Amino acid sequence: MSRVALVPLTIRVRRVWDRLAIYLPIVIMGFMAMTTYWLVRNAPVAGDVELEADPRHVPDYFMRDFTVKVFAADGKLKSEMVGTEGRHYPDTDTLEIDHPHIRILSPEGRLTTAVAKRGLINADGSEAQLFDKAVVVREATTNAQGVAVPRTELQSDFLHLFANTEEVRSHLPVVLVRGAGDRFSGDGMDYDNLDRVMQLNGRVHGTLLPRKDKQNQ
């Protein structure tokens, strides 16, 4: 009796196994597909990490003993910048320069020069921030009315030069020397070269020398 009962049981187990063997590859493949999908969805992506990370202030290229010239649409020289070393920062698109020497020519031919121990120039060269013993000089010239405009010189440990509007600003003490001996100083300054207007802030001092024509009278 036990052998007779054992035979049908063995047959049933084999039939069940045969059915499982048919569907088992499909189940395994499905499980692998689900696992792969989960891994793809949850794996860190390099691009996402780069987007989330804060940009680093690291230069992407260097220049040494270089000269950069900017020309107007008519081919005339607009500005020239010379430096001993330059570092470009892609996060701010600025150029940091050691010992910059800048020359700017206005459309009327007025020459403005600027020197400092360190400079920071924006992408299009329209703004220059000068640090440590900065000096900006506008050479003497004659305006459209034929009136002589004296030489002016600005001195400070920080000067912010705007090339297009010919403005110079500073939040640090500044000295302005005009002509043969006129001298002004203040704790800060806004200077508009086109309108010939200078605003000194804080403690202001000034020295005006008499003109030669008045001295001769």
Of the candidates 129, 78, 82, 75, the residue with the CA atom closest to the CA atom of residue 101: 82
List, for residues 20-50, the tens digit of each pLDDT value: 444 444 444 443 444 333 333 444 455 544 5
Q: Are 100 and 83 in contact (CB under 8 A)?
A: yes
More confident residue, 120 or 212: 120
CA 115 to chain centroid, in Å, comes to 19
Domains of the chain: which residue ranges? 2-52, 61-210
List, for residues 145-198, the tens digit of each pLDDT value: 777 888 888 899 999 988 788 888 999 999 989 888 889 999 999 988 778 788
Q: What is the pTM of this model?
A: 0.64
Which helix (H) or strand (E) element contains residue 54?
Answer: none
Angle at 141 between CA 135 and CA 142, to 5 degrees: 150
The superfamily in CATH containing domain 61-210 is Lipopolysaccharide (LPS) transport protein A like domain (2.60.450.10)
Burial class (CB in 10 A: 0-12, 13-18, 19+), 81: buried
- Identify the pLDDT of residue 172: 95
**Cα distance between the two ends of the chain:** 149
